[in-house]
């Protein structure tokens, strides 16, 4: 299955589906009704930067059934290139909209990732918003669990035994994508979302940018102000120059196509 809608656009070497958040949710619901699983990738500038240097990461993201732009510069680059995508679709937003759909359809979700207590608090917040939502389980694996066979098996067995309809994996890129790739084949009817910081956002451990900042592409700035020591290198030193090159390249592609 590949995403439907307005087509798939290449941005910075990665595929982005021209889908709105509502269309993503509708497609997941349709696939669940048909008994088919899959996973949703949410590329941002950091994903593109790493994938540009590592073909294996690019292939990993390409294996997702749905790939949507989590970062505003990804949306801007698509528009500058002349192949626009309708909107930014974030993992933080999909956590809520997919949970709402799961509650309406009588389906279950599983929350994997975050510090101890985070997935439980996020699950409580989701259930407060959607009382009919079924929480199949939660797991906060220890740091480095993916390198410890016993811990990895424990985590995998917990998800498999819960047999949820949707799994939200908030372990950060690219760990969450590798975990999804390794686990998803064992639950072929389940949908998986790599959602980054969505779980601590939902749990209230991290504050998300105000609504007015998000459409302007300023969510990164809000996070940088609140977590400068952790995010300065990534956002300012690494991602900002790459974003500039990405946008410039997209504009040049557009100009060449009009010659």
Give the whole-angstrom CA distance, residue 115 versus residue 139.
9
End-to-end Cα distance, the chain: 36
Task: State the pairing for strand pair 14-17/8-11.
Answer: antiparallel
Q: Note down pLDDT in tens along the chain; length 259 residues.
A: 445 456 899 999 999 999 999 999 999 999 999 999 999 999 999 999 999 999 999 999 999 999 999 999 999 999 999 999 999 999 999 999 999 999 999 999 999 999 999 999 999 999 999 999 999 999 999 999 999 999 999 999 999 999 999 999 999 999 999 999 999 999 999 999 999 999 999 999 999 999 888 888 889 899 999 999 999 999 999 999 999 999 999 988 887 776 6
pLDDT at 2: 46
DSSP state of 236: I
Read off the tokens for 201: 């956002």
* Burial class of 138 by CB neighbour count within 10 A (0 to 12, 13 to 18, 19+): buried
Read off the tokens for 258: 């009009």
Domains of the chain: 8-203 (3.40.50.10700), 219-257 (no CATH)
pLDDT at 257: 74
Give the whole-angstrom CA distance, residue 179 versus residue 173.
10
């Amino acid at each position: 299955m590949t995403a439907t809608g307005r087509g798939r656009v290449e941005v910075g070497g990665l595929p982005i589906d021209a889908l709105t958040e509502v269309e993503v949710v509708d497609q997941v619901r349709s696939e669940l009704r048909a008994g088919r699983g899959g996973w949703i990738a949410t590329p941002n500038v950091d994903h593109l930067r790493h994938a540009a240097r590592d073909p294996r990461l690019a292939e990993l993201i390409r294996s997702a059934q749905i790939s949507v732009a989590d970062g505003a510069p990804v949306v801007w680059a698509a528009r500058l290139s002349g192949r626009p995508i309708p909107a930014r679709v974030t993992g933080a937003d999909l956590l809520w909209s997919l949970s709402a759909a799961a509650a309406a359809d009588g389906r279950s979700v599983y929350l994997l990732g975050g510090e101890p207590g985070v997935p439980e608090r996020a699950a409580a917040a989701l259930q407060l918003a959607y009382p009919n939502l079924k929480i199949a389980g939660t797991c906060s694996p220890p740091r480095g669990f993916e390198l410890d066979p016993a811990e990895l098996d424990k985590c995998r067995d917990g998800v498999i035994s819960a047999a949820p309809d949707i799994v939200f994996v908030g372990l950060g890129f690219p760990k969450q994508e590798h975990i999804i790739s390794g686990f998803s084949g064992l639950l072929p009817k389940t949908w998986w979302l790599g959602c980054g910081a969505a779980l601590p956002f939902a749990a209230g451990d991290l504050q998300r940018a105000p609504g007015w900042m998000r459409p302007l592409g300023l969510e990164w700035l809000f996070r940088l102000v609140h977590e400068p020591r952790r995010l300065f290198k990534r956002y300012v030193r690494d991602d900002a120059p790459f974003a500039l090159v990405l946008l410039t390249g997209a504009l040049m592609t557009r100009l060449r196509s009009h010659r």
